[in-house]
Structure 1
C-alpha cells in the first residue's frame, strides 16, 4: 500500500502579487498557499512537525516598490534564507514525516511582531525560526517561554538570559578558543613568552577575550596588539613567538603574509577566513598554519556533495550565504525534531556539520538559553 506524506506551506498575514525586478521567480513561492504531496513506500506515519518562520520579507512593499534600498536588501536576504530552508525540507522528505511550515512576514516592524504574537498562539509550534534581529527575538521569547525560538543570525549576550532562545550563529570571540588551546599546549612544552595580535578588532572584544582566557589558564605572555604596519615590529631572530591574525582588508592581509615571510621563528594562526590564506598555501604550510572559521565548504564530504547537487538542481550554479544558512539551520533543527519533538531534549546532544555551518550547542547556564560553539578548524 502506498503512503502519502505532506508538507504544508501556509502564509500568515502575508500578501503578495507578481511583478518585481529580478526576484520575481523566487517571490512567486509566496503567491498562494502551497500544498505539496510526496510519496514513500514506508508504512510508518507520524503526526506533523510544526515550524513557523518569522522573516522580514516585506512582500507587499516590494511588490509596490514602496521600500528603501536597505529594507530591499533585507527582504532579499530573508527570501534567500527561506528558499534555502524550504530546500532543506524538500531534501528531508524521504524521512517519512509530515512537516507543517508557516511563514509570517515581520517586515522588520516591532509593533507588527508584538501584535502577531499576542493574536497567534505560538505554543502549537515545535520551533520558531526568527526573527532576524535581537530586539524582535526578545519580544517573541519573553511572550512564549516554553517554545524554542531559534535566532538564525543574531548572537548577543542580551539573548543569553532567555532559556528558550537558541542562538545558531556562533559568536566571533569563540573562533579564538581552538587556537588558544593550541597555543597553551605549545606553551607548556616550550615556554614561549611573546604573543602578537595583528589586524582589525574595532570593538576590542577579541583581544579582551584572548587576554582574559590566557589569564584564566595562568598562561603568561607579553601581548602586543597592532592593527597594521607590522613591518615596524622588531623581533628576535633566535626566539620563537606566536602571532594571531585577527583579519582585515586585502592590504592588512598582505602585511600579515609579508610578516610571516620575514620571521622564520613565527608560529602563526588565523581567526576567521581570509582569502590571503589560500593564495599563500605553500608558505603557510611550512608553518603548519591553522585558522578557524564559522563557514566552510568541504568538497570531500560525500553527504555534503549530495546536498550540494540537490541545491544545484533547484537553483543552478548561483548560491549565496543566506540560502546556505537557511538550508543548514533548517536541516539541523528538523533532524533533531524527528528524534524528539521537544527540541530542548535534543538540541545540545550532538553536533551537526552542514554545507557551510557547524552546530554544536551548549546550554549557557541552568536558567539561560543555548549558544552555538560549532566552528571549523582548518589546517592548511
Structure 2
C-alpha cells in the first residue's frame, strides 16, 4: 500500500515553505540524473536550474557541477505536492431575462455566439431559459493591446520572443506554469495584472518562449515510432482478407489503412505491414497487440490533428482542513479512498501511454467530493467548460447528474454496474448483471448443445430469466442424481449443465454426479456468474477443472501479453501488483482517449467499433436511448488449473 500514500500526497492540498542556509547549493550530477530529477530533489523547478546554469539546456553530463537555488534565509514557496484547484471564475455572470436571445447577448457583451455556447454547453441543447445564469467569456482588451505591443517588439533586435496562452475553464496559474515548464514567479512577473486576482476565462497570458523548457507537442507532430511497432507479413497462397483477419486479429479496413496497395485485394507474395502482436516495449500499452476477430485496434486509426481535453472526476474527498496525520490515517483505513487511488494509479499509466503514442491530449484531474447521495459536480461545472469527454463520477446518480448538466459531452461511467437512466451522452462502461448472464446464454445458443439447468429452489428469478431468454433449456429439479440426469442428457452432442445455487453442498454433489456421467456423455459445466461458493473447501477444484467449467466475466482472467505488460509497468512504477480497480482505471481511460481521436468522432466510434484493453472489452450498444457496454468474456477452467477464453 506504500504507493497509495505517495499518490495521495501528490494530490493533497497544501503548500510548504523551506529555509536554506545560503542562496545556492552545488550539486554534482550523478549517473543517469536529469535536470528534472535534480529539480525534484531540491524542490525547485527545472527553469530555476536552467536560469543559473544556461549550458544545461543542451544536456548535462555525469560529474558536472550545477548551482541549485535555495534563496538563503527567505521562505521559498516550494509548492510541495500541490493539487490543482478549479479556477474561481472571474467572468461576469448574466441572468437571462424574458425575450433575451443568444444573438442579443453576444452583441450586449461583445462576444461571439460560439464563445457563449462553449462557456455554457447546456444552452446548445436546451436553449436559453428565463432566470438561467450563464457565464460571459471575457476577451481581456488590455491583454490584446499588450499583445500588439509585444508583436511590434518582436521585430527589434535581440528582443525577447513572446507567445500567449488563452485561459480555459478549470486552469490555474500554477497548472499553466507547470504545463509550460515555467516557474509560477516568472509567469506572474510577465502578467502583473493577474498576480493577485483569479484568472478570467479567455484571458491571454503572456509567456516567454525562451524560458519555456517543457513545450507542448504541436498537434499533428510526428513522433518517432518504436522500431518494433510493426512486422512484415508475406501473403500466403489462396489467403483472403477473411482468413488473414482471423489470423492476425485486425479488420480488413485496418489492414488497408496500413497497406493502401491492398485495397484491390490480396496477392500471393505481397508483403504487408501489420501491428506487432508482441512488441518488446514496456512503455506504450494499447498501441500494438493481437486482437480477437471483431475487435478493432483503435491505435492504428488515430487522428492527432487537434489537442483535446479529457476530465477525470474522481472521489478523493480531500478535507482541506485536516492535518497530515489524519489524512495518512484515512489512506490506511478508508477502503473507498483506496479503491479511488487504485483507479487513479491505473489511469496515470494510461495517460503516459497515450502521450508515448504522440496523442496530444490534455487531462484534468478533479476531486468529485462524492458519496452515494451527493457530489461537487455543481461546483466543478466551471472547470469542465470546453472538455471533450469526462470519466466519472463513480456513483450512478452522480454520473447521471453530470451527464444532464454537461449535455452533449460524452460522460463515461467507470465503475457503476447499474443500468440507470438512459441518457444519450452517458456511456455505462461496466456491463450490468443481466448483460453478463445473457452473454452466457448467448454463448450456449451459439454452441447448439443440449442445455440442462440445475437451479436452486431459492433462485426463482434466475430460473425465470433462463426461461424467458432460452426456450430450449431443460430443468433438473431437486437433489441431483444420475437417475435424474440420464433422461435429460443427449449422448449425441455436448451437454451443457447450467448450475446456479448458493449452496456449497449442492455444488459439490452436482459436480460429483456429473463427473461420473462423463464416462458415457460429453458434459461441460457452466455457471451464470462466478461466486465465492465455487471457492468453498467443500467444492473439489479438481472436478471443476475436469468439467472445464464455463463462466461469464467482465474481466479477462486468462493470461495475455497485454495484461502482463501492464502489470510489469505498474509494479515498476508503484512497487505493488495492480488490482482490478487499477486495471479498470487503465483500460477505461486509455479506451476513452483512443476513441476521442478516431476520425469518425467519439459517438460514431462507440456505435461501430468494439475494442479491448488489458482486462476489459468495450462493445457498446444503444438500448432505449442509453449506451451500454456488452463486452463480456466467456472463460473456462482447464485441467492444468489455468483459465482460457472459451472457443
Pair 1:163–1:94, CA change in 2 (3 A): same
Deviation at 1:333, TM superposition (A): 0.8
Which position in structure 1 is the counterpart of 2:511? 257
CA contact (8 A) 1:271 1:292 kept: yes
Counterpart pick for 1:235 among 473, 481, 484: 484
TM-score for both structures, normalised by structure 1: 0.75
Corresponding residue for residue 475 of structure 2: 223
CA distance in 2, matches of 1:200, 1:262: 27
Distance in 2, matches of 1:135 and 1:85, equals 22
Report the alpha carbon displacement of residue 285 of structure 1 after superposing the two structures with TM: 5.5
SS state of the match for residue 606, structure 2? coil
1:244 paired to 2:498: yes
Name the SS for the 1:328 alignment partner: helix
Structure 1 window deviating more from structure 2 (245-254 vs 307-316): it is 245-254
Q: 1:259 to 1:317 in 2, by over 3 A?
A: farther
Work out whether residues 336 and 346 of structure 1, in 8 Å CA contact, stay in contact via their aligned partners in 2. yes
Alignment size in residue pairs: 344
Tell me which of 360, 376, 381 is aligned to 1:98: 360
For 2:464 and 2:2, how far apart are their aligned partners in 1? 45
Aligned residue number for residue 172 of structure 1:
433
After TM superposition, give the deviation of residue 72 of structure 1 in Å: 2.5
Name the residue aligned to 1:195.
453
Provide the C-alpha distance between the structure 2 equivalents of 1:247 and 1:355, rounded to a whole number of angstroms.
31
**Residues 337 and 237 of structure 1, relative CA distance in 2, 3 Å threshold:** same
Taking a change above 3 Å as real, the CA distance of residues 95 and 248 of structure 1, as seen in their structure-2 partners, is farther
CA contact (8 A) 1:268 1:289 kept: yes
- Alignment of 1:144 with 2:406, yes or no, is yes
* d(CA) in 2 for partners of 1:268, 1:62: 55
Q: Which stretch of structure 1 is more off in the superposition, 24-33 or 233-242?
A: 233-242
Q: Which structure 2 segments of 5+ residues have no match?
A: 12-80, 85-174, 180-213, 223-303, 490-494, 639-647
How far residue 186 of structure 1 moved from its aligned partner, in angstroms, is 6.0
In 1, distance between residues paired with 2:340 and 2:349?
Answer: 14
Deviations 1:315-358 (A, max 9, x none): 23422221111011111111111214842121232222222211
Q: Which has the larger radius of gyration?
A: 2
Deviations 1:76-120 (A, max 9, x none): 211211111111111221221222211221221555435225x42
Q: Which residue pairs with 2:464 in the alignment?
A: 208
Paired position in structure 2 for 1:13: none
Q: TM-score, normalised by structure 2?
A: 0.47
Query: CA RMSD, aligned part only?
Result: 3.8
**CA separation of 1:221 and 1:210: change in aligned 2, threshold 3 A:** closer
Instruction: Name the counterpart of 1:326.
Output: 585
Q: Decide whether the 8 Å contact of 2:368 with 2:377 is kept in 1.
A: no
* Partner Cα distance (1:245, 1:53) in 2: 40
Query: What does residue 530 of structure 2 align with?
Result: 273
2:8 to 27, 36, 42: 27
Q: Is contact 2:8–2:331 with CA below 8 Å preserved after alignment?
A: no
Q: Which moved more, 1:61-70 or 1:280-289?
A: 61-70
Partner of residue 291, structure 1: 551
Q: 1:206 to 1:95 in 2, by over 3 A?
A: farther
C-alpha deviation, 1:256, in angstroms = 4.9
In the TM superposition, what is the alpha-carbon distance from 1:255 to its structure 2 partner?
A: 4.8
CA distance in 2, matches of 1:106, 1:378: 36
Deviation at 1:164, TM superposition (A): 0.7
Aligned twin of 1:348: 607
Partner of 1:155: 417
Tell me which residue corresponds to 1:11. none
- C-alpha distance 358-246 of structure 1, shift in aligned 2 (>3 A): farther
Equivalence for 2:565: 306
More strand as a share of residues = 1
For the 8 Å contact 1:247–1:271, the answer to whether it is kept is no
